[in-house]
Amino acid sequence: MSKPIYVLSGPNLNLLGAREPEIYGHQTLEDVQRLCEARASALGREIVFRQSNHEGELIDWIQEAREKAAAIVINPAGYGHTSVAILDALKMVGIPVIECHLSNPAAREAFRHQTYVSLAATGVVSGFGAASYELAVEAAAGLTRPAAK
């Protein structure tokens, strides 16, 4: 059996659906998890879905993924713009990293236009609401598909 795809979400994403729904939508994080699980299942994959408001816990999961995951999908939320520590952890994983955002950071405030995570990401999916996570899971699954014989 192949390793799972880790889907990690950063601070304040536990409040999806209630927090600025005009930007982030009305779906909850539980809704997003169900979407990711369904997409992964359709692709013959499993996910490990986690959220934390704590930078160190996200780093612990990234480090864990080095051995236990096939790829990482990460929505770093605000930490994307501030955390060199998360960047450093992602640079060491040696597996595909897909950065994911519900909104389009490039269309928002100037401080959101760049993220540290992008420096370590294989690719970025943003601006599609909850579907950004689904698309990111699909990309991660595609990048980790066994080679055809």
- pLDDT in 10s for each residue of the chain, 149 residues: 689 999 999 999 999 877 766 766 678 999 999 999 999 999 999 999 999 999 999 999 999 999 999 999 999 998 888 899 999 999 999 999 999 998 767 656 665 657 889 899 999 999 899 999 999 999 999 999 764 44
Strand partners, 50: 8
User: Residue 23, class by beta-carbon neighbours within 10 Å (0-12 exposed, 13-18 middle, 19+ buried)?
Assistant: exposed
At residue 78, the pLDDT reads 86
Q: Which stretches does DSSP call E strand in the chain?
A: 5-9, 47-51, 71-75, 97-101, 123-126
Output the pLDDT for position 92.
Answer: 96
pLDDT at residue number 111 = 57
Catalytic residue among 24, 79, 116, 133: 24
Architecture of the domain whose range is 5-143: 3-Layer(aba) Sandwich (3.40)
Domain boundaries, the chain: 5-143
Residue-level pLDDT at 114: 74
Q: How far is 143 from 80, CA to CA, in rounded Å? A: 22
CA dist 83 → 19, 46, 87, 110, 115 (Å)? 22, 28, 7, 17, 9
101 is catalytic: yes
Catalytic annotation, pick one of 6, 79, 101, 116: 101
